[in-house]
Amino acid sequence: MKTRVWYLAKPTETGCFEAEEVFVDIDPPAVLGPGSLLRLPGTTELVCIERVLWDADEPDVIHLFARDPTRLPNMGEMLAAGWCQADGEGCRSASRAGRRGR
């Protein structure tokens, strides 16, 4: 089963958004839940998991949603560290099911 972590990053281009969603797929050695702390590539602080979602329409993925960072990491650095933009640009298409209602 794949575990996808969702986070925020500062856009590389100036636009109307202050932050954009990014994700990275990980293979943790244990089941993670709210309150779990992760050190992930491209981040300078520990990432705290706030919510967990499993969707019956996408049963092979568990979505972990991180607490908003105190300082937005740079999008370019995040992409270079293996993260993908939420729209799937630069990597395979990502499900956005977990972001509904956020």
pLDDT for 93 equals 40
| Total count of domains within the chain | 1
**DSSP letter for each residue of 33-93:** -TT-EE--TT-SSPEEEEEEEEETTEEEEEEEEEPPPSSPPBHHHHHHTT-EETT-TTSS-
For residue 44, being part of any structural domain is answered with yes
Distances from the Cα of 11 to the Cαs of 39, 56, 75, in angstroms?
A: 21, 32, 5
Q: What gap in Å lies between CA 31 and CA 9, rounded to an integer?
A: 25
Cα 27 to chain centroid distance, Å, stands at 14
User: 85: domain range?
Assistant: 2-91
Q: Is residue 100 part of a domain?
A: no
pLDDT band at 76 (very low <50, low <70, confident <90, very high): confident
99 in a structural domain = no
Q: Residue 8: beta bridge partners? A: 21
Please give the model's pTM, rounded to 2 decimal places.
0.79
Reported as a single tens digit per residue, the pLDDT across 28-60 is: 999 899 999 999 988 888 999 999 999 999 999
Under the banding of pLDDT at 50, 70 and 90, the label for residue 70 is confident
